[in-house]
Amino acid sequence: MEDRNREPDREQGSKLYRIQRLRRLSQLLDNALPIPGLNYRVGLDPIIGLIPGGGDMVSAILSAYIVLEATRFRLPKETLGRMVMNILIDTLTGIVPVLGDIFDLTWKANAMNMQLLEEHLQAPKSREAADRGFIIVMIIILALIVIGITSFGLFLLWGLTALMNSLF
């Protein structure tokens, strides 16, 4: 009989652990480092995005992990769609040289996604949780975006290398 009473506590503890892990990752990606003299923080996401050919891909994968973990909390389609849209905006603007990097300093997709997750957990909406098919489609969309961005970055890198070789 004691085992039945402990089971909900274990499940609740597991949920809390997952949420804390996602908060730490979000914090690391969006707000880890204070800017001296300003009341503003940046994370590793815009710094990683500076790496040519793969930085935006790595950032997108880390951001997608937060969304994939959030699916375990049975969020509605609308919330998951907003989370994916935040990542798409972050990733697609991040590939634009210089302007994308500046935008990446201010657009904190992971923090916004954690806020959406926590709002749902505090006051779950009566809407139906996203079904497995919808989640699979979201995963495919995120994977295609990551593959597309990686391909685009590698293509640009290849083009710049070819241009530099032809000039010298």
Amino acid at 122: Q
Kindly report the pTM of this predicted structure. 0.78
Instruction: Supply the pLDDT for residue 18.
Output: 92
What 3-state class would DSSP assign to 42? strand
What are the distances in angstroms from CA 146 to CA 25, 104, 133? 19, 16, 20
pLDDT at residue 87 above 80? yes
Instruction: Supply the pLDDT for residue 20.
Output: 95
Task: Note down the domain range covering 88.
Answer: 2-167
**Structural domain tally of the chain?**
1
pLDDT at residue 44 above 70? yes
Taking alpha carbons only, the member of 63, 30, 24, 68 closest to residue 47 is 30
Which whole number is the average pLDDT over 92-118?
90
Instruction: Supply the pLDDT for residue 114.
Output: 97
